[in-house]
Amino acid sequence: MNDKQMSDLWNSQPAESLLIDEEKVMQAVRDEHRREQRRIYWLNAQEVIPAVFLFFFFGSAGLNQETGAWAFFAAAVLCLGVGMFLLGSTIRQRTRESAFGDAVKEQLLRAVSQVKHREWLYRNIFWWYLLPIVLGWGAIVFDKMFKDGPSTFAIVYVTACFAFFACVYWMNRQVASIRYTPRRMQLEGMLHDIESADTQESTT
């Protein structure tokens, strides 16, 4: 069941009683949660494995440099830091999610927590991903291309790279705005309806 189907299911419930088919809603939330888990596992594989590889690649390259080894060592540490940050963030989020129970409200709270985490990762891509990568890359580029004065090729190369980084930033922000922000708002709306129903029941 996708987001639209889950929303249609929710909206099809009688407004006057706010009653829902709990089993269908819980199953829809669980299915989407599992899909998001697979996405984040794939994201970790895409980033952590290359980060470890680049750590050893730049580290070994730095050992073979007569001058400017610091730039390669800095790039190695920064690349590894990106991968370790994402891995640590994923583990912390899994710990948060494991604290929620199996009731509909708890499942929705877990889904909101998960989506907020994904939204934060994509919306803040500059700080935890692009900035360390640019700093590591920039250290090497400065030492090898700009230390003795920039060439035309170096200027064109750096300009093209910054354009690429800007595109990566824009695309990730779009993912946050198009995929995760609407879903978070949808889940928070469902959660608000359940809390309103609970309040209504407690006052009757």
Could you tell me which residue, 111 or 149, shows the higher pLDDT? 111
Average pLDDT, the chain: 86
User: What pLDDT is recorded for position 7?
Assistant: 54
Q: Residue 184 and residue 73: Cα distance in Å, rounded?
A: 40
pLDDT band at 76 (very low <50, low <70, confident <90, very high): very high
pLDDT band at 54 (very low <50, low <70, confident <90, very high): very high
Mean pLDDT of 87-96: 94
Per-residue model confidence as pLDDT tens digits over 151-186? 899 999 999 999 999 999 999 999 999 999 999 998
